[in-house]
């Protein structure tokens, strides 16, 4: 696949090198020719000095044949504009923009442009390690409505099928980590000691899910 990367800073250069190592053809665009020094001597992709939202520059980078596009400059506005042009004008199949402002990231997710909100992600990861009891979600979607819950299977659930833990439309057991190996959960899988279970869950139902996990036999859900 041909990939166009706009921005050759720390993220862009590492992304370009990784993509090339995986066998993809890569073109990197940056307004500063000096930025390409971050690419090692063995990099065989194209480097184009120019503005990432300029049509001629993008065409020179091969955007018309690109299957993917990443905008990872230091500016949110530039990344948004570049991503919209790639998505709407050139109809690139996979477009992602690096966005620092989480409010903007949410807006563009709703427009169909994938974003990586670096500030929001970093804050979330820091909070999980500072106050783990106050941050039960492993992942939350950009709208804040759906989350991933990781939980060690309580002893009261060992030996019982997972199927009765599901509540359609509210939470659903999707995967299990057992003895260091992951498996996709089905209703017939029986819980074992040490299992770590993963649920996709409506954020509003998180407390109910935890209550259900800890309910003893014969108790209330």
Would you say residue 1 has pLDDT above 90?
Answer: yes
Architecture (CATH level 2) of domain 2-122:
3-Layer(aba) Sandwich (3.40)
User: Start-end ranges of CATH 3.30.70.1450 in the chain?
Assistant: 136-214
54 against 189, higher pLDDT: 54
Rounded-to-integer distance, Cα 87 and Cα 42, Å: 30
The phi, psi pair for 140, rounded to 5°, reads -130, 135
Tens-place pLDDT, residues 33-51? 999 999 988 899 999 999 9
Would you say residue 127 has pLDDT above 80?
Answer: no
DSSP string, the chain: -EEEEE--SHHHHHHHHHHHHTT-EEEEEES-GGGGGGS-TT--SEEEES-TT-HHHHHHTTGGG-SEEEE--S-HHHHHHHHHIIIIIS--SEEEEEES-HHHHHHHHHTT-EEEEHHHHHHHHHHHHH-GGG--EEEE-TTSSEEEEEEEPPGGGTTSBGGGG-BTTTEEEEEEEETTEEEE--TTPBP-TT-EEEEEEEGGGHHHHHHHHHPPTTS--
> Considering the chain, what is the average pLDDT of its residues?
86
Predicted local confidence at residue 121, as pLDDT? 60
pTM over 0.85: no
Architecture (CATH level 2) of domain 136-214:
2-Layer Sandwich (3.30)
Predicted local confidence at residue 220, as pLDDT? 45
Tens-place pLDDT, residues 46-77? 999 999 999 999 999 999 999 999 999 999 88
């Amino acid at each position: 696949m041909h990939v166009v990367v706009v921005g050759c800073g720390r993220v862009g250069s590492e992304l370009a090198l990784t993509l090339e190592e995986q066998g993809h053809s890569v073109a990197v665009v940056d307004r500063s020719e000096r930025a390409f020094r971050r690419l090692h001597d063995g990099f065989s992709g194209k480097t184009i000095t120019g503005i990432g939202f300029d049509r001629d520059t993008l065409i020179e980078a091969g955007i018309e044949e690109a299957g993917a596009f990443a905008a990872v400059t230091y500016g949110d506005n530039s990344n948004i504009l570049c991503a919209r042009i790639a998505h709407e004008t050139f109809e690139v199949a996979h477009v992602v923009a690096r966005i620092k402002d989480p409010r903007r990231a949410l807006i563009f997710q709703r427009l169909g442009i994938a974003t990586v909100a670096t500030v929001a992600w970093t804050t979330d990861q820091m909070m999980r390690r500072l106050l783990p009891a106050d941050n039960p979600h492993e992942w939350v979607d950009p709208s804040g409505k759906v989350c991933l819950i990781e939980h060690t299977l309580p002893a009261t659930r060992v030996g019982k099928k997972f199927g009765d833990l599901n509540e359609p439309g509210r939470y659903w057991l999707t995967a299990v980590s057992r003895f260091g190996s992951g498996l996709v959960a089905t209703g017939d899988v029986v819980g074992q000691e040490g299992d770590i279970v993963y649920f996709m869950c409506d954020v509003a139902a998180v407390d109910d899910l935890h209550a259900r996990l800890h309910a003893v036999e014969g108790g209330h859900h």
